[in-house]
């Protein structure tokens, strides 16, 4: 606010426009929008730094870091048997129409994606006729089972059926 400017004047004179806020402010002449952009960029840099730091600290997890439990995979095997095996095969080897969910071709198909990408694939579209017939939680269990059959080791904590945690897990074909 510029000092000495008579704030009441416009109203008293019936002017329609209120005094325009100073776009180029007194703070070193940085327009507010540029300042906001600068803040956004700084925030982004900070977030990227945190994520990169987490990776460096070993939290950039992959499917080889024990991201599900053995119990969960056991539940997943049952759910898979009920909802998926008729097409993808009891051993996940695939069928006449349905692709294999285990083995070299499958793991390289998903190499470099996240566990969330794979989860979303089966959450949204499997089983094809009625994707909603199998709950989100059961699908996380099934994904754990798929990891197990592909040789990825079990760990201490269950695989969550939520986008955030799943998105932080990279799917790699090999450890």
CA dihedral of residues 107, 109, 110, 113 (deg, nearest 10): 140
Query: Which 69-88 positions form the footprint of ligand HEC (CB under 6 A)?
Result: 83-84, 86-88
Instruction: State yes or no: residue 119 binds ligand HEC (CB under 6 A).
Output: no
Instruction: State yes or no: residue 97 binds ligand HEC (CB under 6 A).
Output: yes
Applying CB under 6 A, which of residues 19, 93, 99, 153 lies at the interface with ligand HEC? 99
Helices 136-149 and 115-125, axial angle in degrees (round to 10) = 120
Instruction: State yes or no: residue 102 binds ligand HEC (CB under 6 A).
Output: no
73/101 with CB nearer ligand HEC: 101
Minimal distance in Å, beta carbon 162 to ligand HEC?
Answer: 17
Instruction: State yes or no: residue 98 binds ligand HEC (CB under 6 A).
Output: yes
Minimal distance in Å, beta carbon 170 to ligand HEC?
Answer: 16
The answer for residues whose C-beta is within 8 angstroms of residue 139's C-beta and 6 or more apart is 79, 119, 122, 123, 126, 161
Token pair in block for residue 86: 């008729």
Minimal distance in Å, beta carbon 147 to ligand HEC?
Answer: 12
Instruction: State yes or no: residue 62 binds ligand HEC (CB under 6 A).
Output: no
Helices of type H across the chain: 9-12, 32-54, 70-83, 85-88, 104-110, 115-125, 136-149, 163-167
Applying CB under 6 A, which of residues 11, 38, 111, 121 lies at the interface with ligand HEC? 121
Applying CB under 6 A, which of residues 93, 127, 155, 165 lies at the interface with ligand HEC? 127
Burial classification of residue 133, based on how many CB atoms lie within 10 Å of its CB (0-12 exposed, 13-18 middle, 19 or more buried): exposed
Angstrom distance (rounded) from CA 100 to CA 84: 11
Residue 141 near residue 76, CB atoms below 8 Å: yes
Footprint on this chain of ligand HEC (rule: CB under 6 A): 83-84, 86-88, 97-99, 101, 106, 109, 121-122, 125-128, 134, 142
């Amino acid at each position: 606010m510029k000092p000495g400017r008579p704030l009441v004047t416009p109203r008293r004179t019936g002017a329609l426009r209120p005094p325009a806020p100073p776009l180029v402010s007194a703070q070193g002449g940085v327009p507010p929008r540029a300042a906001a952009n600068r803040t956004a960029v700084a925030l982004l840099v900070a977030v990227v730094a945190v994520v990169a730091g987490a990776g460096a600290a070993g939290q950039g997890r992959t499917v080889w870091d024990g991201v599900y439990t053995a119990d969960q995979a056991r539940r997943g095997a049952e759910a898979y048997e009920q909802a998926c095996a008729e097409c993808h095969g009891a051993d996940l080897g695939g069928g006449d129409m349905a692709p294999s969910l285990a083995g070299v071709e499958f793991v390289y198909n998903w190499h470099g994606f996240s566990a969330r990408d794979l989860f979303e694939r089966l959450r949204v579209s499997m089983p094809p006729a009625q994707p909603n017939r199998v709950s989100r939680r059961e699908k996380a269990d099934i994904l754990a089972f798929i990891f197990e059959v592909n040789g990825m080791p079990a760990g201490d904590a269950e695989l969550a059926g939520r986008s955030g945690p799943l998105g932080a897990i990279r799917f790699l074909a090999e450890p």
